[in-house]
Amino acid sequence: MPPASVAVPEPPRSAGRTRPLVRVVVGSAALLVVFYAYVLRIAVGDTNPFDFFGYFTNQTSSLTALVLIAVGALALNGRRPPPWLSVAWGVGAACLIVVAVVYNALVPGTGSAPVWVSVALHVVFPALVLIDIAFSPDRPRLKWTQLWWVLPYPLVWITVVLLRGATDGWVPYGFLLPERGLPSLVLHVVGILTLLLVAATGVWALSRRTSRWSAAHTR
C-alpha cells in the first residue's frame, strides 16, 4: 500500500457537490459502456470474461471508473480520498492515456464494438479523467516518490497476457502475438512501459500544478 503521504488540498467551499456528482456519473457511464460492450460479445457467443477483460482498455476503464466513483462518493459525503485511492486515481489517469495513444496510434478501428463505444472508451473517458486531474481544485497532489506505483498493475497485465499467449494462444492485441518473435515482443513491451512512465510523469506534474485557490490558500 502506498505510504500515507499524499497531500490532497481541501476543496474550496464553492466547489459544492457538482464536481463529485459529475465524477460519479462519468464513472458510472464508463462502466455501463463496458458492460454494454460485454453484452454485445455475449450476444455473438463470446462469453469468456477472461478474454473480454483481458483487453487493457476494458480492464483499465472499469477499474478507473470504480476509482472515480469512489472519489466522487467520498467527496459527496464531505470526505477526501485516502492516500492509496489518490495514487490509484493518478495511476488510472496515466493508464488511460496509454489506452488512448496505443489504440488511436497503433490499432485504430480494430475490434468489433460499435464506433461510439470505441470513441467513448478510447477518447472521451481518458480525456475527461485527464481534464479532471489537470483542473480540479481538489485533485490529489501526488508525490514524485510514488511515481513507481504506476508500474505494478500494467506489469501484472503484461505478464498474464504473455503467459496466455504462450499457452492457450490468446492475446488481446496482435503486436503481442508470440509468433512475432521475442525482439518484437520486447520492443513493444518496453515501448508501452516507456509510454506509461511518460504519461504518469505528465499526470503527476498536472496533479502538482498550483491552482488559483491553492496558491491563495498557501499564502
pLDDT in tens, the chain (219 residues): 455 444 444 444 434 789 999 999 999 999 999 999 999 999 988 889 999 999 999 999 999 999 999 999 999 998 999 999 999 999 999 999 999 998 888 766 656 678 899 999 999 999 999 999 988 888 888 999 999 999 999 999 999 999 998 898 888 888 888 888 889 889 989 999 999 999 999 999 999 886 443 444 333
pLDDT digits (tens, 9 = 90+) for 83-111: 999 999 999 999 999 999 988 887 666 56
Distance CA(126)–CA(131), nearest Å, equals 9
Q: Which cell numbers in the block locate residue 89? A: 486515481
Phi first, then psi, for residue 7 (nearest 5°) are: -90, 120
Helix axes 182-207, 125-135, angle to 10 degrees: 40
Distance CA(129)–CA(145), nearest Å, equals 22
pLDDT digits (tens, 9 = 90+) for 185-212: 899 899 999 999 999 999 999 998 864 4
Contact (Cβ atoms closer than 8 angstroms) between residue 22 and residue 72: yes
